[in-house]
A and B are shown apart, each in its own frame.
Chain A
């Protein structure tokens, strides 16, 4: 353990902790943009610069490891002035059309611009004009809003192990992108949407159902949050909409990733994953993030169907279950228990699946049990 002093507060932390780790653990807020706890530190946005007594220069809190006895200041006039300048510089090359941006309310740059009272930049000059990338149904990229934090590149490389993106060109002309600006479907991309989950601004966003009214409602809600500077939960409470976000466990496989299901009018509009919670730590795959349209699909079975005269007809549960029980008993009696096989679903819970195998073994008396874990 090491002992450091942050803003006059004595803190203790394990050896090897970064200044930011310790500050966070002690409830001290240091602004960041290129930081994501899931990724290796990068030290590029410079928002988290702090002053360390005796150090020759300001240090990025996300990158610099704390030494025993360090005396650290996370805020003072100079640091705040620098942070404001940095936000102004970023804003000078970022379209401040937050009202029309679905990231509004969750945008990290917007939050900082609010904090430092930056509505437009005092530095005017060349701004980037990139084409929008809407070439696939999952990910939409708008690099005019990119702040070059490199999080999309790092998450794809470090967490997914794929490497769809890298920076292209250098200096002011640098921008993340695919080789030769190819559409993502022509890259090894698996459409996990992890880049969406880490992008701090509206540069990379989820596309599914983006044009549906419910998503627009969600955007409105978030815009309102941003406008009134209220956290989403508080806003929902104020509007009597507690049920809008539901935390649950992903049902696709056994990993148990945590999901936040955003629901409007009893329909899912988006799925995100809470950072550093549960086994997924905020990471999701393509199924967990995008595979939810079945939930309110018109083709989804909501009532049992019974085939009568070669045609499926809707039935009541009692009728259907009675029929199944009858047929199973007949088959078991006529042939033998092993003539029956039971097949369950990976999308059912562990408890349900336990019951299914119990039913197969104890009630029917067969070991012919399987389920479709390979979704």
Chain B
């Protein structure tokens, strides 16, 4: 799976424009490269800070309004930092039919945050996503890099608990789709 989060300190600090410099250099001359620019910047910084977007606009020759318009159009772009673990609950059809709503509800219940929010301890960010294409394991949820399939609301507490402690998941291998 794509590395989405895992640990906040793996992202560059927004005050360090070094990584962005490289990205802009790489795409500098490419026609229509705004989306890859934003994608790579997000990969480097974890989210798209105002400072980063202003720099992209200035350096790559876009209007800030355009950069902001594109960043708010696509679901993938985040304007706020995320927690250590990004929880993605799949709401594809198969997952919906299999009860994805109850899964999200239970995560909300357990963490006390709404969709799109981050827990106060910066541990978890909750997102709903569209079909991840693992329909046979519905309903599924991805925590950090681990996929948890064939979930039931009653399993959520246990799954989340494994990530709650300091220093990474304990015994929460993603492959527990028995």
Contact = CB atoms under 8 A, between A and B. Distances in A.
Chain A directly contacts chain B within the complex, with at least one CB pair under 8 Å: yes
Interface of A: 157, 162-170, 178-180, 187-188
A155 B73 CA distance: 21
B76 interface: no
B7 interface: no
Nearest to B74: A170
B73 A179 contact: no
B63 interface: yes
A107 to B, nearest CB: 26
B72 A165 contact: no
B72 A178 contact: no
Interface in B45-93: 50, 53, 63-69, 72-73
Nearest to B69: A166
Contact of A166 (B50, B53, B66): B66
A75 B63 CA distance: 41
B47 to A, nearest CB: 14
Contacts of B67: 179
Contacts of A165: 65
| Residue in B50, B63, B65, B73 with the greatest tally of chain A CB atoms within 10 Å | B65
Interface residues of B, number: 11
A169 B63 contact: no
Nearest to B53: A179
B50 A164 contact: no
Contacts of B53: 179
13 contacts: A163-B65, A166-B63, A166-B66, A166-B68, A166-B69, A167-B69, A167-B73, A168-B68, A168-B69, A169-B72, A170-B73, A179-B53, A179-B67
A23 B131 CA distance: 46
A169 B65 contact: no
A168 B72 contact: yes
Given A157-B63, A166-B68, A179-B67, 13 more contacts: A163-B63, A164-B65, A165-B65, A166-B63, A166-B65, A167-B73, A168-B72, A169-B72, A169-B73, A170-B72, A179-B68, A187-B64, A187-B65
A309 B170 CA distance: 95
Nearest to A182: B64
Those 4 A-B pairs whose CB atoms lie nearest each other, nearest first:
A166-B69, A163-B63, A179-B68, A166-B65
A153 to B, nearest CB: 8
B68 A180 contact: yes
Nearest to A168: B72
A188 B64 CA distance: 10
Contacts of A163: 63, 65-66
A210 to B, nearest CB: 26
A331 B59 CA distance: 59
A162 B66 CA distance: 11
Interface string B17-54: 00000000000000000000000000000000010010
A157, A166, A188: most-surrounded residue (chain B CB, <10 A) = A166
Contacts of B69: 166-168
A167 B65 CA distance: 8
Residue of A165, A168, A178, A179 with highest tally of chain B CB at under 10 A: A179
Nearest to A188: B63
Contacts of B68: 166, 168, 179-180
A179 B52 CA distance: 13
A167 B53 CA distance: 16
Contacts of B63: 157, 162-163, 166, 188
Given A168-B72, A170-B73, A178 B65 contact: yes
A180 B65 contact: no
Nearest to A163: B63
Contacts of A179: 53, 64-65, 67-68
